[in-house]
Each structure stands twice: as structure tokens, then as C-alpha cells.
Amino acid sequence: MAVTLGASRLGLGALRRLPADARPLVRPGTVPAGVVHLGLGAFHRAHQAVFTEQAMGLAGGDWGIIGVAPRNAELVRILAAQDNLFSVSTLSAADRHTRVIGALSGVRLAAADPQAVVALLADPAIRVVTLTVTEKAYQLDPAAGTLRPDPALVADLTGDRPPTTVPGLLVRGLLARAAADAGPIALVSCDNLPANGRRLRGLITQSLAYAGTPQPLVDWVATQVGFPGTMVDRIVPASTPDTLAAARHALGVEDLAAVAAEPYTQWVIEDDFPGGRPAWDRAGAVLCADAGPWERLKLRTLNGVHSAAAYLGALAGCETIADALALPHLATVLRRLIAEDVANSFRPPEGVDVVDYGEQVLARFANPEIRHRTLQVAMDGSQKLPQRILHTVADLRAAGRPAHWATLVLAAWIRFAQGTSDEGHPLPLDDPLADRIRAALAAAPQTPAGAVDAILALDDIVPPEVAADTQVRADVTAWLTDLQTHGVPATLAGTT
């Protein structure tokens, strides 16, 4: 990316020149590291890094973050050149401000030096490992959470070469930590998986079994490693040249690692940290015994509705989620999805009204300053739909209720996977299971019922009770027929 001539670069030397309210709360280099974070993407920088910086600013503690990018060499180079500093611009129609975050005490590229990451995980100073690596990096089948290791992970688990996968790094790191007797640690999934703490524990225990790990080491992991579940929430689109321009304008210096996010942020964390943790509660996080109800609330309401807007919006030719929300009738359909389906599918946290929460979610999606692309949210549907929509369908049906609106979302995903928009433009199927999904659709009879049967038969994505439900099959087929025959606007109009 080109650096604008004339603007100097963000770094420790530039801090004095920043507007006072844009300066970091913590000066990198002055706080020893206590956290390793895997996955240095925009979401981490605008979420956990901000909470951790505020926690250190308010309550101290040696909780600097070593940020590990699995593969993004350019980002690591950029952050290193900026003394690990980056900015977060908070954007809404009412407000716009930018602040530099000083939570990172170092950055590493796992692909270049995996052993350095393994050594970090075995360092007694590191007591917390947080992860934002996206759903697919866990290599679990999305429906049941069973390990489906790809050849690279099999090699990591069964051979001696340096690990190349995230689960491989974690397993090697934990084994090195056990061997060094380096003390207890918490591994904290901050990805949008169902029961993410339990899924991560399952990933590690299944991986240890796959690797034939000796029992004492398995026991060490069972007793010394916490796997707190979390609910994470902040809308943080991928950065664009506009994001960098906004940061430059606010800071007066160039920040090539800048991110932009909505004002809203939330973090609910199960308090299971055997080696201690930053005072995230002082920074506004909710520490609790069971994040499950919060996680279901967020995955089904926010993320489920996000996916609905993404698929329907992309099919109708909308570039952003905010554009999709402006499609005639879409907001009404999403409100009905929330009130009639999502709200009846689970018990929300004490004191939370799902319909009110859903209204806030829709207002957040409509934020005109956040240009979140429908195609970004549409990515990796096979990894997302189980916890976002299919669990809603399964729970409604188990309670004897219809799943009318939720089946529309499934139909929209199938239509999206067929690869063309209403106007006949190609839509990219960016998904780790893309080949299987395409092959299943190609081999099926070229009718809506044929496509629905082919997708419902993908048993690593679709729970068996949903696949076997003839009413669900009929509803998805009816929606897909409408979408294929009439397109999104007429299908939505037909619901009123």
C-alpha cells in the first residue's frame, strides 16, 4: 500500500505529535507481555486489544499482548515498523474519533518462525492465549465439533516438523509448557463458534488423542489449562484505503494498520483463568460463570440476522449490509425472523429481551459509516450457518414450532452457493467446503428440491434432525423456488 508523501509514520517517535485524546493509554515497551494472541486481524485490534489496553491503563498488570499472525507477513512488517502501534477509528453518524492503542508488546509471524511461537506458549510469563482465527481454523466439523484434520494438521500432530496450523501450534506449545512445568494457562477462543470454550477444549483433547500423547501430558492439560467460553461483539469490517485515510486525517500521521469499527463493543467471558488475567472487567467486560446464554443470544440474533442480510443482500446486488437493510421489506422480514423464530428458539440471559436486542442489532447494521461488505459476511457459510441458523431451526422444530423465516435464510445461502445474483452476476463461494458444496449442487437434479436435498445431505454442516425434517425440507424448497423464480425483491414483497 502506498504511503502518502508528506505524512510521517505512526510510531513511538510520533506519539508526542498526536492529538492528546488520540494517544495510547499504555506505552508499548513499558509493559511486559502476559498474553499471546493468535490472529492479528482487524477484529482483534478493535476488540480484545482495546479491552486489554484499558484494563492495563486502569488496573495495571503485566498483560502486554504478543500478537501472532499465522500468515500475514505484511501486517507483521507494518506493525513492527510502527513500534506495534495502530489506531482504532470509531465511526457512526453521530460521532467519529480515533485513538492509538498501545496493548501490543510485540508481533510475530507464525509461518516464518513457528518454534518461536511454541516457545512463547511455554514461557511462564504468558498466562493467557486469546484466539481470533475464524471458525475454519479450528478444523472441526461445524455440525458436531468432531476433529476433521487436514493433511497439514495431521502432519503437525504426527510428525516432528515445525507446526504450520493453529491447532498444531497450540498443541506443541502446550506440550512444551507441560515439559517445562511453566504453570497454568487459559486458552480463550474469541471466535463465533457455538460453545467456543468447549469447542476449543474438544479440539485440543481430540488433537492430543490423535497425536497419541502420553497420559501424563494429557492429564497436565486437563488440570492446568482453562478454556473459558466467551461472547465477543463489535462490528469491524476489513480495512480499506478509506480506513487509512480517516486515520491519517485524525492523527496527522500515516497508520498502515488502522482499523475502523462501530461504537458498540461487548465481551462476556467465563472466569476460568488458572494463571490470572487482565482486569478486563474494569474495562467493561462481563465476567461470569456461563457465557452460553449470551453466546446464543449473539450468534442467533446478531450473526444469524447478519448472514440473512448478507445472502439476501448479495443476491439483490447490494454491496454493503447497510444497503441491504434499505431493501424494501428486508427489515420487516428480519424483524419477523427475530421475533417469531430466533426469540422462540432459546432462553436468553436473565433480563434480556431478544426483540429489543434485535432492534439494537438492526440499528447497528444500518450505521452508514460502517461499510461492511455483504460478501465479507457471506464468506465461510458452511462454518457459520450451524450456530447462526441451523441450531435455531433445530430448537424450534424440537419445540414443535415452525421455522418459517429461518428456512428462508438457509434457502438464500443455497441460492448464493449456486453462484449468481438475481441480475446474473457471479457470486464468489469463498468457503473451505466450496468444492464439496459445488459438487453436491452439480450432481443433484437441477431443481430447487434437488438443490435442497443435496445441501441437507451434507452431514458435517446440517444436524441430522434438521436434514430428516420433511417440513423443513418443504419450507426451504418453497423459499428457494421463490428466490430462483422471482428474485429477492419479489420474494420479500410476497411476505407482506
Name beta bridge partners: 109.
69
Is the separation of the CB atoms in 178 and 220 below 8 Å? yes
Q: Judged by CB under 6 A, which stretch of 8-16, 228-236, 354-362, 404-412 contacts ligand CS2? A: 228-236
Residue in 98, 139, 303, 387 binding ligand CS2, rule: CB under 6 A: 303
Nearer to ligand CS2, 114 or 304 (CB): 304
CA distance 162 to 169: 8
Contact between 139 and ligand CS2 (CB under 6 A)? no
Beta pairing class for 96-101 and 86-91: antiparallel
Q: Walk across the sheet containing 64-69 and list its strands.
A: 104-109, 64-69, 33-38, 128-131, 185-189, 225-226
Q: Is 66 in the site for ligand CS2 (CB under 6 A)?
A: no
Q: Kindly state the helix (H) or strand (E) to which residue 287 belongs, with its residue range.
A: strand 286-288
| Interaction of residue 164 with ligand CS2, rule CB under 6 A | no
Helix extents (H) in 235-316: 241-251, 292-297, 304-315
Q: Which of 10, 69, 221, 235 binds ligand CS2 (CB under 6 A)?
A: 235
Closest CA to 39 of 70, 77, 74: 70
Among 376, 421, 481, 495, binds ligand CS2 (CB under 6 A): 376
Is 127 one of the binding residues for ligand CS2 (CB under 6 A)? no
Using CB under 6 A, pick the residue from 98, 192, 301, 392 that binds ligand CS2. 192
- Options 180-188, 205-213, 229-237, 393-401: segment touching ligand CS2 (CB under 6 A): 229-237
User: What's the chain's Rg over C-alpha atoms?
Assistant: 23
Would you call 215 exposed, middle or buried from its count of C-beta atoms within 10 A (0-12, 13-18, 19+)? exposed
Nearer to ligand CS2 (CB atom), residue 82 or residue 345: 345
How many chain residues touch ligand CS2 (CB under 6 A)? 10
Which residue stretch of 10-18, 56-64, 205-213, 301-309 sits at the interface with ligand CS2 (rule: CB under 6 A)? Answer: 301-309
Q: Is 148 exposed, middle or buried (0-12, 13-18, 19+ CB in 10 A)?
A: middle
Q: Single out the segment in contact with ligand CS2 by CB under 6 A; choices: 3-11, 50-58, 160-168, 300-308.
A: 300-308
Task: Give 269's strand partners.
Answer: 230, 287
| The one among 44, 108, 306, 373 contacting ligand CS2 by CB under 6 A | 306
Rounded least distance, CB 283 to ligand CS2, Å: 17
One residue of 234, 277, 296, 300 binding ligand CS2 per CB under 6 A: 234
Kindly state whether residue 233 participates in binding ligand CS2, applying the rule CB under 6 A: yes
Helix (H/G/I), strand (E/B), else coil: 178:
helix
As measured in angstroms, the least distance from the Cβ of 308 to ligand CS2 is 10
Enumerate binding residues for ligand CS2 (CB under 6 A): 192, 233-235, 302-303, 306, 376-377, 384
